[in-house]
């Protein structure tokens, strides 16, 4: 039986010749054959040229996710083994992130040419998150390959909220294979230990993307008073304490996250850290009212906008946070502005930081413009994968 064909509308093939993997329904002229959701299809231009092979899903706005630009290559076990092996090779043999108790992202969806799946490693466990029906249906095959390549003790499935509706895929959090993760699972990161609750923690348990930014900020913290806003399980704040900060205050609205943060402080023998459960906007305003000052302020809020319509409101949120942070920063203090909203570009973030500094009548120098750790690469064909910005500045 021949592979069903998806024929694009005239003049709509260019992004896909450019290897962008998302074929939205609106770009499609017609389907030849009757692919079921999850089946392989070949995508052709309106002019009749082969573009790429992908997996079909009539229930998603992304009707076809593309995986191979070589004609005649089947998306079978050998294909996924090759893709996954190359993702693992980057982390193990290029970035040298492997090792006992290490945590790193093994597969980052489009960035690793596997649109719709994320795999994280936490010591001997893997978490897998599927955001594409085609790959979710192949989860047994994928789990088998991951076991061969990484030899974990267990693989745990995490699902993103709302993904059932978006992709028509029925998935639930729970073990996919092997042993359940222990309740006190810890990873080691730059000499610090972090407890990770990979069954119930946010995202897949921990924010691996900030690893190098935490280390970069820590270098600026010896002897300093540090405010870690949106601290989750203590990331930036614990690095700062270990680097010799005089005092660290972490703030987050999640009590379960702070419980781990407090335990992390104990595990690492760090006594100069305290954590407060509060809404950051409120807490920062209270600290301003109380006349408190800090030498370093880290802002690492969650994603504020999921679509373009939400961007203006998101920018207001970032603006408010920066206004408060500047009031808390003492003379020549360090401001760390993280932004994981992909729809807000680095230029937009810097524009906003600049405006807030001018309003506050303060000079500001950017010291570092950073992105995520390189186990979260950016595929040049899908630059939407570059979402995290971290701007470190000095505020005079
Ligand atoms: N800096 C952390 C990651 C932060 S993720 C690290 O290095 O690991 C964003 C955090 O913001 C989450 O822990 C979430 O609980 C918290 N959060 C979201 N909205 C909040 C709010 N309005 N006030 C306080 N915390 C909030």
Q: For 75-125, how does the pLDDT look when each residue is reduced to its tens digit (9 = 90+)?
A: 999 999 999 999 999 999 999 999 999 999 999 999 999 999 999 999 999
Q: Retrieve residue 192's tokens.
A: 């610090």
The full set of domains in the chain, from first to last, is 5-68 (2.30.130.10), 77-178 (3.30.750.80), 207-395 (3.40.50.150)
- Whether 353 shows a pLDDT value over 80: the answer reads yes
Residue nearest to atom 7 of ligand 1 (CA): 235
CA angle 227-209-300, nearest 5°? 30
pLDDT classification of 293: cutoffs 50, 70, 90: very high
Contact, 213 vs 339, CB < 8 A? no
User: In a 10 Å sphere around its CB, with 0-12 CB exposed, 13-18 middle and 19+ buried, how is residue 124 labelled?
Assistant: middle
167 and 135 in contact (C-beta within 8 Å)?
Answer: no
Residue 272 in contact with ligand 1 by CB distance below 6 A: no
Residue 373, burial from CB neighbour count under 10 angstroms (0-12, 13-18, 19+): buried
pLDDT value at residue 162: 81
Helix (H, G, I), strand (E, B) or coil at 40: strand
| Cβ(128)–Cβ(158) below 8 Å | yes
Q: How far apart are CA 187 and CA 180, in angstroms?
A: 16
Nearest residue (by CA) to ligand 1, atom 1, is: 231
Q: Is 197 in the pocket of ligand 1 (CB under 6 A)?
A: no
- The residue whose CB lies within 8 Å of the most ligand 1 atoms, and thus the one to mutate among 120, 230, 273, 388, is 230
Which atom of ligand 1 has the smallest separation from the CA of 257?
Answer: 13
Is ligand 1 within 6 A of the CB of residue 210?
yes
pTM above 0.85, yes or no: yes
Q: Is the CB of 236 under 6 A from ligand 1?
A: yes
The span from the first CA to the last CA of the chain, in angstroms, equals 69
Q: Residue 372 pLDDT more than 90?
A: yes
Whether the predicted pLDDT of 391 surpasses 90: yes
Task: Kindly report, residue by residue over 172-218, the tens digit of the pLDDT.
Answer: 899 999 999 998 999 999 999 999 999 888 888 899 999 999 999 99
Catalytic residues: 340
Ligand 1 atom nearest residue 210's Cα: 7
pLDDT tens column, 225-260: 999 999 999 999 999 999 999 999 999 999 999 999
Ligand 1 centroid, distance to 284 Cα (angstroms) = 14
pLDDT at 1: 66
Whole-angstrom CA distances from 211 to 22, 71, 137, 189, 329 are: 29, 39, 32, 7, 24
pLDDT at site 265: 98
Residue nearest to atom 23 of ligand 1 (CA): 279
């Amino acid at each position: 039986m021949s592979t069903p064909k998806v024929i694009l509308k005239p003049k709509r093939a260019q992004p896909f010749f450019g290897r962008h993997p998302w074929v939205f329904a609106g770009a499609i002229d017609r389907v030849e054959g009757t692919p079921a959701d999850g089946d392989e299809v070949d995508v052709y231009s309106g002019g009749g040229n082969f573009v790429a092979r992908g997996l079909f899903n009539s229930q998603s706005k992304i009707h076809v996710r593309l995986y191979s630009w070589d004609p005649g290559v089947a998306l079978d076990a050998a294909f996924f083994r090759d893709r996954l092996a190359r993702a693992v090779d980057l982390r193990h043999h290029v970035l040298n992130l492997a090792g006992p108790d290490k945590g790193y992202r093994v597969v980052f969806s489009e960035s690793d040419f596997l649109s719709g799946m994320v795999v994280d490693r936490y010591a001997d466990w893997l978490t897998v998150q599927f955001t594409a029906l085609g790959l979710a249906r192949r989860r047994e095959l994928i789990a088998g390959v991951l076991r061969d390549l990484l030899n974990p003790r267990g693989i745990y499935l995490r699902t993103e909220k709302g993904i059932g509706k978006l992709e028509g895929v029925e998935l639930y959090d729970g073990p996919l294979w092997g042993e359940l993760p222990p309740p006190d699972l810890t990873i080691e990161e730059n000499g610090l230990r972090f407890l990770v609750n990979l069954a119930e923690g946010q995202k897949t348990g921990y924010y691996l993307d900030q690893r190098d930014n935490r280390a970069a900020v820590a270098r600026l913290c010896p002897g300093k008073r540090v405010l870690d806003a949106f601290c989750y399980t203590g990331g930036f704040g614990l690095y700062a304490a270990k680097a010799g900060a005089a005092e660290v205050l972490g703030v987050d609205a999640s009590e379960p996250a702070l419980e781990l943060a407090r335990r992390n402080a104990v595990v690492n023998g760090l006594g100069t850290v305290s954590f407060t459960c509060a809404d950051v906007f409120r807490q920062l305003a209270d600290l301003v009212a109380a006349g408190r000052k800090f030498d370093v302020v880290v802002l690492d809020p969650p994603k504020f906008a999921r679509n373009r319509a939400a961007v203006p409101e998101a920018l207001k949120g970032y603006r408010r946070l920066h206004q408060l942070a500047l009031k808390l920063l003492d003379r020549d203090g360090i401001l760390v502005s993280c932004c994981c909203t992909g729809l807000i570009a680095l230029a937009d973030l810097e524009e906003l930081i600049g405006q807030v500094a001018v309003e506050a009548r303060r000079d500001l120098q950017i010291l570092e413009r950073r992105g995520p750790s390189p186990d979260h690469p950016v595929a040049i064909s899908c630059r939407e994968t570059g979402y995290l910005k971290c701007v470190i500045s000095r505020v005079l």
